Structure 1
Amino acid sequence: MNPIVVKIILFILSLSILIVLHEFGHFIPAKLFKTRVEKFFLFFDVKFALFKKKIGETEYGIGWLPLGGYVKISGMIDESMDTEQMAQEPQPWEFRSKPAWQRLIIMTGGVIVNFILAAIIYIGLIFTYGEYTLPTDKIKDGVWVTDPELGAELGIRTGDKILAIDGNPLENLDRIGVELINGNSITIERDGKRIEKDMPVDFISKMIEKEDRAAFIFPRMPFYIGGIPEKSANYNSGLQAKDHVIRIGTQEITYFDEAKAALEQYKGRATEVEVIREGKHVQIPVQVSDTATLGVQRGRVELKDLDRLGYIELKHTEYGFFEAIPAGIKKGVTTLVDYVKNMKKIFNPDTGAYKGVGGFGTIANIFPDTFDWEAFWDRTALLSVILGFMNILPIPALDGGHVMFLLYEMVTGRKPSDKFLEYATLVGFVLLIALLLFANGNDVYKWLFK
């Protein structure tokens, strides 16, 4: 199946699960408090619905516009803007007739479900697969900076060891991406010396501008050949896919990043390379191009292969069921904290992080292009955390906006007027539409011009 189609299928499946469970978080307490729920929809049914069926007092359905979902609760100012209902006398089964504490539980139910769901997924993943981490102290010869320009902005080079971000020890290299995005300073070790550097305020912006190279720090990797194109001068040289290059001319190489300097010595000339093939050492004459390349494709090396070959030491931690519970909750909390830090960067114009805000295209792109269920559930847990956090923001028209007004009512004893709530919801709805247009506009811009 086409990889793009797979991504879209997994994205829609994840979105559907999250929307339905979020809305159930509102639906269940509403029913417990005997509040009438008129509609329960996955996706929006603007003008018409793909499917709908009334069961009891609630109409269940699937809309055609996949921008979210909703439950319509009687007697509540929401995106439906049902002013006719609100103009009538309050009824006992309506939301507005219920005590403030019950309304608060109804409104926070969706967000609570999102956070609980994320924790449950992380617990399940950790229990099923365990956790693989890459301890920084097990990386023998420092990191590989694949984009020297970005590395220079940060003040880091290939071979450096990353010790800390913002003074906090970086224990696992697999967290380097999120730590760089949220951090302000970096501590490295170079040639035995400890160096501390402040990150440029607009470093995130520079990473976004190089979207295809935003991930640019990896463990140093051996030079494996992935393939030899027919147009390459070395197509018939005897080199083969999966050959492990360990010497170029007279210079032995351990890592791929060392190959360029070795090839520079033989630019435009013939030389010999030594490779390991099926456990045997093989010497092969080759032609080096005028640009100091062999004209071969670099082979992909997985972290587990690097561990097996002795280049790094992965740490695999297995968990029993009861051990997985606190570990999964901790991962959920860490994910939430990372996302909150990320949002702080986005709201600071100087960082340029707002350029990375994306819409449905960006979100769909985080899903794997194969039916990898471990990756699918991991991305779904991440989106559940994001959905929960975004919904609790104190913006009218979101759950957090309703919670803000309810807390005001509970503290002051005065309930905002229906007319005020209508206007506030309308303003919030306009803000959300503007954010939606901006985020998806960013996706369109990247697709057209990058």
Structure 2
Amino acid sequence: MILQFVAGMSLLVLVHELGHFLAAKAFGIRVRKFYLFFDAWGLRLFRFHFKGTEYGIGWLPLGGYVKMAGMLSNHEDEESHEGTFAHRRYHNKPVWQRIIVMLSGIFMNVLLAVVVFTGLTLRYGKGYVATLGQEYRIEPGKLGKLAGLEAGDQLVAVDDEPLVDEEELTSSRLIRGKTVLSVIRSKGRERVHLHIAVPPQVMQTIADEGMTDFFSVNADYKADSVLTNLNLYGTKEFKHTGIFTINGDSIHSYEEFQVRLQENKKRELYVTVIHDGKTMRLRAHRDKDGHIGFSLNSKKPAYRPGPVSVAGSIATGTTRTLTSISDNVKGFGQMLSGEVKMKEALNGPVKIATMFGEHLEWKRFWSLIALLSIGIGFINVLPIPSLDGGQIFLVAIEGIRGSPFKPETLQRIQVTGFLILMVIVALVFYNDIRSLV
């Protein structure tokens, strides 16, 4: 999990800073340093020089940076010969060029998300639900039941937008708040169309706890073997066994099985199985994460996978990126309005690391990379002086007033921005520690 987190965040930092680097080079700005992580107090793990730029890896893993000549002020840098490169200094470049340099890191984050989402679509295709031979059904978890969903409901639209493929069933469209779900519910021979408004508080809880607690899509399954506490004492496995109940609740699908496990994760677990024609009630062996040991003999997929063309994959990748950007904007708006609490909306490195999981799954890894890349890009748009958005804001004001800020004023603004950023970082780490406790 730690290796995935470090590798993923390092890639995101490199891509972001590469955007600044390439734009600076394109406009002839002298780049003095390009670092992954910070070389605080001059300490670093590795460095080398190439064509006037120092490349390296710092020891403090809190991001990275590109240092451009004249970036902090329009006065002489500490290097006495810097004045000979006046035309290559950041502050001597036109306003529009400086804005592009600052925007380039954000652009690269968005571009990375498009590329990753496109690649995932090409590699894994789409699981279509609209073309299934038989209609799929959902199995609500505890939050789904709280919202008004029932077992066997068919979810057909979110906010009047029809659902077409698997990803849309579990996408962020469902956790934007004030969501209206359109479902078809069968009552005998009658099919009733319902519109269920889900409270924002429930949707925020779903965003924190996961879609399994909201609902899952039914898929047929058959257990091949069940590991019970009896197995720990040398009893052979119960081969070709069907699980029919968990703590008395009936099980009809693999997804329902997962939901029942979640609902009973703090209780002793008893399963009803049929083995050699006999019905038996057994106490299941469960690991520290609440999972029980069993293997699947066969599992009918809930979705019919379908390949997607290169053009279609690019369109899907672009759409998913734009949707994620829109979700970030709406989520930020909900946080500012108080609809969602800041302590619930901000996640730090510890919580992000847990999202990668203890085992490497490439689809999950790259999906997280794309989403985090969009998140980093969005954060950098914010007009905080220490971030790209703050730099863009200051440069824009300079362009409007027609003169640069005084070095003393610029320094005060930078320090203030840094303090604001540290407060946000402290809050994020507090949230992480609180969630662990």
Q: Same fold (TM over 0.5)?
A: yes
Cα distance, 1:22 vs. partner?
Answer: 1.6
1:67-216 to 2 correspondence within 5 Å? 67-77=62-72, 91-135=86-130, 140=135, 142-147=137-142, 150-177=143-170, 178-184=172-178, 185-191=180-186, 192-207=191-206, 211=209, 215-216=213-214
Cα distance, 1:134 vs. partner?
Answer: 4.2
Show the counterpart of 1:40. 34
Aligned counterpart for 1:344 among listed residues 333, 339, 343: 333
CA distance in 2, matches of 1:71, 1:203: 42
Alignment CA distance shift 1:418-1:165 (3 Å): farther
Asked if 1 retains the 8 angstrom alpha-carbon contact of 2:384 and 2:417, the reply is yes
Asked if 2 retains the 8 angstrom alpha-carbon contact of 1:50 and 1:63, the reply is yes
CA distance in 2, matches of 1:390, 1:181: 20
> Following superposition, which runs of at least 4 residues in structure 1 exceed 6 angstroms of deviation?
81-84, 136-139
Matched, 1:318 2:308: yes
Cα distance, 1:11 vs. partner?
Answer: 1.7
| Higher deviation after alignment, 100-109 or 63-72 | 100-109
Aligned counterpart for 1:439 among listed residues 417, 421, 428: 428
Matched, 1:53 2:40: no
Note the residue ranges of structure 2 that are not aligned, 5 or more in a row. 261-270, 284-290
CA distance in 2, matches of 1:138, 1:346: 42
Asked if 2 retains the 8 angstrom alpha-carbon contact of 1:75 and 1:94, the reply is yes
Asked if 2 retains the 8 angstrom alpha-carbon contact of 1:114 and 1:388, the reply is yes
CA distance in 2, matches of 1:369, 1:162: 32
Cα distance, 1:98 vs. partner?
Answer: 0.9
Asked if 1 retains the 8 angstrom alpha-carbon contact of 2:46 and 2:58, the reply is yes
Cα distance, 1:394 vs. partner?
Answer: 2.0
Alignment CA distance shift 1:252-1:112 (3 Å): closer
Show the counterpart of 2:355. 366
CA distance in 2, matches of 1:246, 1:206: 30
Asked if 2 retains the 8 angstrom alpha-carbon contact of 1:228 and 1:241, the reply is no
May I ask how many residue pairs the two structures share in their alignment?
Answer: 405
Cα distance, 1:141 vs. partner?
Answer: 5.5
Aligned counterpart for 1:217 among listed residues 215, 218, 235: 215
Cα distance, 1:301 vs. partner?
Answer: 6.1
Instruction: Specify the code of the residue in structure 2 equivalent to 1:14.
Output: G
Asked if 2 retains the 8 angstrom alpha-carbon contact of 1:204 and 1:352, the reply is no
Cα distance, 1:62 vs. partner?
Answer: 0.7
Instruction: Specify the code of the residue in structure 2 equivalent to 1:244.
Output: G
Asked if 1 retains the 8 angstrom alpha-carbon contact of 2:71 and 2:90, the reply is yes
Instruction: Specify the code of the residue in structure 2 equivalent to 1:339.
Output: N
Alignment CA distance shift 1:145-1:298 (3 Å): farther
1:289-438 to 2 correspondence within 5 Å? 297=292, 299=294, 305-307=299-301, 312-319=302-309, 321-352=310-341, 354-438=343-427
CA distance in 1, matches of 2:133, 2:72: 56
CA distance in 2, matches of 1:329, 1:14: 21
| Higher deviation after alignment, 162-171 or 67-76 | 162-171
Q: CA-to-partner distance for each residue in 1:40-96, whole Å, 9 max, x for gaps?
A: 110011121112233343222111111100011121239xx999769x989332111
Give the % identical residues: 27
Matched, 1:284 2:285: no
Asked if 2 retains the 8 angstrom alpha-carbon contact of 1:204 and 1:351, the reply is no
Instruction: Specify the code of the residue in structure 1 equivalent to 2:94.
Output: P
Cα distance, 1:224 vs. partner?
Answer: 4.2
RMSD of aligned C-alpha atoms? 3.9
Alignment CA distance shift 1:167-1:441 (3 Å): same
Alignment CA distance shift 1:33-1:353 (3 Å): closer
Q: CA-to-partner distance for each residue in 1:12-50, whole Å, 9 max, x for gaps?
A: 112222212221211122223222222111001112111
Instruction: Specify the code of the residue in structure 1 equivalent to 2:217.
Output: P
Cα distance, 1:244 vs. partner?
Answer: 3.1
Cα distance, 1:139 vs. partner?
Answer: 6.7
Show the counterpart of 1:4. none
CA distance in 2, matches of 1:125, 1:418: 47
Show the counterpart of 1:263. none
TM-score (normalised: structure 2): 0.79
Q: 2:200 is paired with a residue of what secondary structure?
A: coil
Show the counterpart of 2:267. none
Instruction: Specify the code of the residue in structure 2 equivalent to 1:62.
Output: I
CA distance in 1, matches of 2:118, 2:211: 32
Show the counterpart of 1:13. 7
Q: 2:330 is paired with a residue of what secondary structure?
A: helix
Instruction: Specify the code of the residue in structure 2 equivalent to 1:240.
Output: F
